[in-house]
Structure 1
Amino acid sequence: MKRNFILPLIITCVVLLTGGLIFGYIIGSTNIEQKPRQDEIIYKGSNDGTDIEQEAPFTSNENKCIGPNTEVVYKTHYRRCGHTIEEKKPSDDYMVNMTEEQLNDFIIKEHPSWKLKSFSNDKIVIEIEKNHLCPEHYIIGIKDGNLAIYKVNKDGEKILKMKYKDSNILMLKKIDQEKLERGIVVDSLEEVDSVLEDYMS
């Protein structure tokens, strides 16, 4: 009689234990699937008791680099005349895919007179210092003993634009000859005409 009572009890315990293990496994799996990922939630809860969930902002570790459509602004300051000329160009082929550090290293090595002022994917600004006149000027001087007009190029070189025949400078005062030998710098063709009028009248 006692044995008949123990056997059903053992079977009942085994069934309950097995059922409990299965139920616990199912509940645990459900909680894992429903738990929010840490990279999706910044915080939950607020001071007024209202639950708030916010997505973490997307951040990229990708470095800024120059693309084929990046605009490059060259600001050239000419020390002799004090003028600054700004020129905008698309990025050169050798610049494409360069980072700020790579471009700066290139400038230091290849163009010591350049200075990188700002850098972004859309726009780069480079400042350049030159010791000569800017290309906006003309120089009234001498060529083969006659009055001549020179244009200044971007490298500060004098390019002969016009020579006036039969304008022998020996006919001028010594002080005027010295001025022409040094070169008289003017800003426009109108000023050229005004100066020549004094020397050729």
Structure 2
Amino acid sequence: MDFIYRNKKKIRNILLTLLTLAVFSGVYYVCVHKLENSNTQNTTEKSVNAQSELEPKVSSNANVIFKIKYTKSGDIIKQKENNSKNLSGKTKGELNDMYKEDGYKVTNMTNSQVVFTKEVDKYAPNKYALGIKNGYIAIYRTDSNGNMFIEDKNRDITDIKISRLKKADIELLTKGNKYFECDTREDAEARLEDYE
């Protein structure tokens, strides 16, 4: 009889333990699941509100800077700077829409400063650059807008055929590279020594 009583007690303790674990697991799952959903909703709402409230707007006394990035060389030159009276209160998206046709994009913006940058596929102004002319390496000059031209056909078009060059060199001469941009004609002529 004592044996049956002990077994009933063991079975009752095991069932009670299992029931307790089942209730605890269920409550834990429900609580964690609810908290995760609640946190996700709150985080989403907070981030949406924070983005709309924190999006910078141009102040009436902000500096507005326009720059041009010459992609062949990577040079960035400040074009002009003025105040922002007509841009006051505008957001980055509104500013990008305003200057889209001119090719400018906002690259940096705070309440006190807006920087617009326009990318052009040219070398920087008033430089010398190596390029290709009629199948030969040539020394080009850039004007005040970065447009390339040959100053003297007899002197600036070399006798170095591009057919002698590696494919990678031809691509660089075609696309442009900071290495090929020089401040003086003498520097550009020195670059030609790499190909002679």
TM normalised by structure 2 equals 0.43
| Structure possessing the higher relative contact order (Cα contacts under 8 Å, 6 or more residues apart) | 2
TM normalised by structure 1 equals 0.42
Which is greater in Rg? 1
